[in-house]
């Protein structure tokens, strides 16, 4: 019955209720600043990922081919790295927690603020409702019922946002939230496969990590969801992804010549 509630979001254009937040120009400017700082911070954390962790996560997510990591796209690789830093645990701590202990940032800086937010990040399955143009989207978490405003300029401009769910790790920035990992679109087929599994207990993830993100990401990657995502900067398209692969054994998929 839980999956039916999730799938209901595909057929209903429900009006988002219950939030007084209305983004201002200053909110968007702050978001852009924190987004840029957050990308740099995530890269630092990614640089601490051991190669063996990447391999183990690739196996868990079903993207190892003959011993080679093959996520299908550059974006897919970044999604896997997000799982590495949040979903791989050793002695009860993930790599974000370990980084915070070994690399304490200067107090009262954007990096300090963001690192604290990353330590409290949550993986969500979001249904997108109405948009605030050039700012973000009002969403609800279909797993918890929690309502939130997701600051994301690109999503606010996407006319298809109401037709899919998105699986994303988010952080709170006060009155609104921001994604902090590779968000993936979830279509009807993937929702049935991934979300119904959560009701039944889902698959086990690495060393006791929460199974929800692992199962959703695995189902999305299996259906090629990462291939349908393009990078977008809040102001302009970047020349390269925010996270670059730095591991031996990563196979880039070549595009056919025109």
Residues 61-78: pLDDT tens digits?
Answer: 989 888 888 877 788 889
Cα within 13 Å of Cα(72), Cβ side: 17
pLDDT at 143: 84
Mean pLDDT (whole number) for 83-108 = 95
Mean pLDDT (whole number) for 82-92 = 94
Within the chain, where are the H helices?
Answer: 2-11, 25-46, 51-60, 74-87, 95-102, 110-118, 153-156, 188-199, 211-222
**pLDDT per residue as tens digits for the range 189-206:** 666 555 555 544 433 434
Residue 164, domain member (yes or no): yes
pLDDT at 66: 84
**pLDDT per residue as tens digits for the range 6-30:** 444 444 434 444 446 899 999 999 9
**What is the number of structural domains in the chain?**
1
Task: Please indicate, yes or no, whether the overall pTM of this predicted structure exceeds 0.85.
Answer: no
pLDDT at 192: 59
Residues contacting residue 35 through CB under 8 Å, at least 6 positions apart = 178, 234
Residue 30, domain member (yes or no): yes
Residue 26, domain member (yes or no): yes
Residue 81, domain member (yes or no): yes
C-alpha span between 46 and 86 (Å, rounded): 10
Confidence of residue 241 (pLDDT cuts 50, 70, 90): very low
**pLDDT per residue as tens digits for the range 166-184:** 999 999 999 999 999 888 9
Residue 145, domain member (yes or no): yes
**pLDDT per residue as tens digits for the range 130-168:** 999 999 999 999 888 999 999 999 999 988 777 788 999
Residue 113, domain member (yes or no): yes
**pLDDT per residue as tens digits for the range 195-237:** 555 544 433 434 444 468 998 898 888 888 777 675 555 444 4
C-alpha span between 93 and 120 (Å, rounded): 13
Residue 190, domain member (yes or no): yes
Domain that holds residue 209: 2-228
**Under 8 Å between Cβ of 169 and 122:** yes
Residue 251, domain member (yes or no): no
């Amino acid at each position: 019955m839980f999956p039916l509630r999730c799938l209901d979001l595909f057929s209903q254009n429900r009006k988002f209720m219950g939030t007084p937040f209305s983004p201002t120009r200053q909110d968007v400017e702050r978001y852009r600043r924190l987004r840029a700082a957050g990308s740099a911070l995530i890269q630092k954390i990614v640089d601490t990922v051991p190669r063996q962790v990447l391999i183990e996560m690739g196996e868990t997510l079903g993207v190892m081919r003959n011993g080679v990591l093959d996520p299908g796209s550059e974006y897919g690789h970044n999604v896997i790295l997000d799982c590495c830093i949040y979903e791989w645990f050793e002695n009860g701590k993930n790599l974000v927690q370990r980084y915070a202990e070994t690399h304490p940032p200067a107090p009262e800086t954007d990096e300090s603020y963001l690192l604290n937010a990353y330590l409290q990040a949550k993986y969500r399955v979001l249904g997108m409702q109405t948009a605030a143009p050039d700012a973000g989207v009002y969403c609800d978490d279909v797993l918890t019922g929690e309502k939130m405003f997701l600051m994301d300029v690109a999503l606010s401009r996407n006319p298809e946002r109401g037709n899919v769910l998105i699986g994303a790790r988010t952080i709170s920035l006060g009155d609104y939230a921001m994604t902090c990992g590779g968000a993936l679109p979830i279509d009807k087929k993937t929702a049935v496969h991934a979300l119904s599994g959560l009701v039944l207990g889902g698959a086990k993830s690495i060393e006791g990590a929460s199974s929800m993100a692992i199962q959703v990401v695995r189902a999305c990657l299996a259906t090629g969801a990462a291939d349908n995502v393009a990078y977008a900067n809040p102001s302009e398209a970047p020349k390269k992804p925010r996270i670059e692969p730095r591991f031996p054994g990563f196979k880039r998929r070549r595009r056919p010549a025109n």
